[in-house]
Structure 1
Amino acid sequence: MDHRTGMILVLSIVVMSVWGLDASAMQKTKFDAPLLTEKIATNRSIIVDIEGKGDYTSVQKAIDAVPVGNSNWIIVHVRKGIYKERVHIPENKPFIFMRGNGKGKTVIESSQSSVDNVASATFKVEANHFVAFGISIRNDAPIGMAFTSENQSVAAFVAADKVAFYHCAFYSLHNTLFDNKGRHYYHECYIQGSIDFIFGRATSIFNNCEIFVISDKRVKPYGSITAHHREHAEENTGYVFIRGKVYGIDEVYLGRAKGPYSRVIFAKTYLSKTVVPNGWTNWSYDGSTQNLYHAEYKCHGPGAERQHRSDWAKELTKQEVESFLSIDFIDGTSWLPVWLQQKS
């Protein structure tokens, strides 16, 4: 039995007895760095300290030190500080747990715009089995002209399978989180932006996350939180937001259509008045809205009123929402160190 199989078996037993509890029972349990470190169970570590009191002063230098083809979990502990650099986790370096000192303390930031979203990213994850805790990722490139190459300023590009972020924060003015492909889990994260600031083709659960809408007066119609791209019904992808809240200082759509089968669900989420009455938009998409899956379930707050919702927007039943609330939507029981099991 190799170490990964053994770890999955052990975690399965632990999770079934402890971490598979429902949300109400889990409110007393914090998914903090010691818990994640315990569940990942490794004694291999690299310390990054901006003041020179660790192994490296650069996050990227620490990643470069991880062996190519790495097959055992390794902790890259990034101590508090503002690291002004761009970081790439390449495909051939899986099983990295990047542990920060808290999203208000450990910051990775750059200032880059590009005609290419990927080229602009401050932080790129292309390796499977990546976990991050307690890190803020920023792209503070200045605002250019709306909907031009000057405005592609991605904070994080996530293009790998089995990736999880716990208590992290993502900041940009436009195209903040390029959630491109793979199965992902975001737990109690903060995501800030104005236009299409969570976008891509991934299969992701956003559990109890804060979505903050910043002002962008250059555009009408309003910006949108999500732009999920799904071309075919057979694609088992989508964004699911469970609990958490949407608020901010400008108005916004919950999502816009990106492909004929775009799929986004907000469930039990607080929606402030920053969400416009229509809720959803097909702006820039010329096709039929028949197969769009833009849906809500038991959302609350002034932005959750349904009288003026777009024609295709769905209000799901308990039965319809169950598969999206389940951690099985991302097959999470087989790879997440810890998770929150939701009930409808």
Structure 2
Amino acid sequence: MADSSSNSLFIKPIYIAFVIAFAFLISSPIGSYAFTAQNVIDSPLLTKKIGTNRTIKVDINGNGEFKSIQAAVDSVPEGNSQWMIIHVRKGIYREKVHIPSSKPYIFLRGNGKGRTSIVWSQSSSDNVESATFKVEAQHFIAFGISFKNEAPTGVAYTSQNQSVAAFVAADKAAFYHCGFYSTHNTLFDYKGRHYYDSCYIQGSIDFIFGRGKSVFHNCEMFVIDDKRLTIRGSITAQNRKSANENSGFVFIKGKVYGVGSTYLGRAKGAHSRVVFAKTYLSITVVPAGWTNWSYVGSTENLYHAEYDCRGPGSESKSRAPWAKQLTKEEVAPLMDVSFIDGTDWLPAWL
């Protein structure tokens, strides 16, 4: 039989080392993140919030009511007025999916953006035509799904230019833990009030664009290199045309990183409005930060702004002359879901 005293001498140093390591972990920034990361919005929470047991199962292997996501959407009655869950099990679904305006209250629930993917490959001179996924119905939720357009990088000013992963033209639409993948014009945030939480968005040029009124909370924007090399890309191209138009993109927390170099945004409309707040900006963000490339007109009405960002790309001394560094008071109305009236329609938010 082993000597118990020798065992205790062996265990104590391990125990002490564990306690020290644990204390360090919870006191460090990494540890703090690890222990607060549990505050996420997950699928069971969303299911509970919308309060329904109406579910359609989609399984590419045939273990559900449908093998196709579009077939499941088509089965939802016109004028639907109660939440319907379309549970899309893991797999790569190679199809274009359209949720028309006549079919509100759909919750498209995947098994995780690394496990459930909607994939197509199409470039077009028409952004909407090229889109892998289109939603036009109010009260829409997506969770844990990747939307991908696998078309190769296009050639500027030709029909091979647009390759949209998702076209969002619905009011009151929310995406949680989703991924959006393309090269040029990835996410067409066309119009309406939208919420993106913990999403991953990848592209090279204008990869979040449109005139939506949207909050991007804790999202990752990954910049990929554009193979044309003649254009420096921008993350956003927000198309607010007048002071009376109530639209804009607000990024809260999250991070910008990747390869190559990019602008945070370019002026697509005379009153383009984009704000990055408390966001990590890597070296991929160029010193000027913002550009009015291709926009002809005064820059005095552009609202390209930052607040309390960090990282090597957040240095503000060489920013474009119209760019703003906001105060706490100025940014306050934009810093939560009240910007999109989210407390009235979102099932959950952070």
Is this a same-fold pair by TM over 0.5?
yes
Deviation at 1:235, TM superposition (A): 1.2
Describe the SS at the equivalent of 1:339.
Answer: coil
Give the TM-score taking structure 2 as reference length.
Answer: 0.89
Q: Which runs of 5+ in 1 are unaligned?
A: 1-22
292-301 vs 148-157, which moves further: 148-157
Q: Tell me the residue number matched to 2:235.
A: 225
CA contact (8 A) 1:146 1:219 kept: no
Match among 180, 192, 206 for residue 170 of structure 1: 180
**Are residues 217 and 51 of structure 1, via their aligned partners in 2, closer, same or farther at CA, if it must alter by over 3 Å?**
closer
Q: Residues 169-199 of structure 1, C-alpha deviation per residue, up to 9 Å, x if partnerless?
A: 0000110000000000000000000000000
The whole-number CA distance in structure 2 between the counterparts of 1:183 and 1:42 is 23
The amino acid of 1:303's aligned partner reads G
Describe the SS at the equivalent of 1:181.
Answer: coil
- What RMSD over aligned residues (CA atoms) do the two structures have, in Å? 1.4
1:316 counterpart = 2:314: no
Deviation at 1:221, TM superposition (A): 4.1
Q: Which runs of 4+ in 1 moved over 6 A?
A: none
1:36 counterpart = 2:46: yes
The whole-number CA distance in structure 2 between the counterparts of 1:227 and 1:328 is 23
Describe the SS at the equivalent of 1:150.
Answer: coil
Deviation at 1:307, TM superposition (A): 1.2
**Are residues 72 and 26 of structure 1, via their aligned partners in 2, closer, same or farther at CA, if it must alter by over 3 Å?**
farther
Q: Tell me the residue number matched to 1:89.
A: 99
Alignment of structure 1 residues 181-192 onto 2, 5 Å: 181-192=191-202
Deviation at 1:217, TM superposition (A): 3.6
Alignment of structure 1 residues 1-344 onto 2, 5 Å: 27-340=37-350
Deviation at 1:26, TM superposition (A): 6.9
Q: Which runs of 5+ in 2 are unaligned?
A: 1-32
Deviation at 1:115, TM superposition (A): 1.0
The amino acid of 2:123's aligned partner reads S
Deviation at 1:89, TM superposition (A): 0.2
Q: Tell me the residue number matched to 2:27.
A: none
Describe the SS at the equivalent of 2:122.
Answer: coil
Deviation at 1:90, TM superposition (A): 0.4
147-156 vs 240-249, which moves further: 147-156
Deviation at 1:238, TM superposition (A): 0.2
Describe the SS at the equivalent of 1:329.
Answer: helix
CA contact (8 A) 1:265 1:296 kept: yes
Deviation at 1:29, TM superposition (A): 2.2
The amino acid of 1:260's aligned partner reads A
Deviation at 1:236, TM superposition (A): 1.3
**Are residues 37 and 148 of structure 1, via their aligned partners in 2, closer, same or farther at CA, if it must alter by over 3 Å?**
same
261-270 vs 229-238, which moves further: 229-238
Give the TM-score taking structure 1 as reference length.
Answer: 0.91
Percent identical residues = 68
Q: Residues 302-325 of structure 1, C-alpha deviation per residue, up to 9 Å, x if partnerless?
A: 000011100000000000000110
* Larger Rg over CA atoms: 2
The amino acid of 1:154's aligned partner reads V
CA contact (8 A) 2:87 2:110 kept: yes
Aligned length: 318
The amino acid of 2:253's aligned partner reads R
Q: Residues 55-112 of structure 1, C-alpha deviation per residue, up to 9 Å, x if partnerless?
A: 0000000000000000000000000000000000000000000000000000000001
The amino acid of 1:122's aligned partner reads T
The amino acid of 2:335's aligned partner reads L
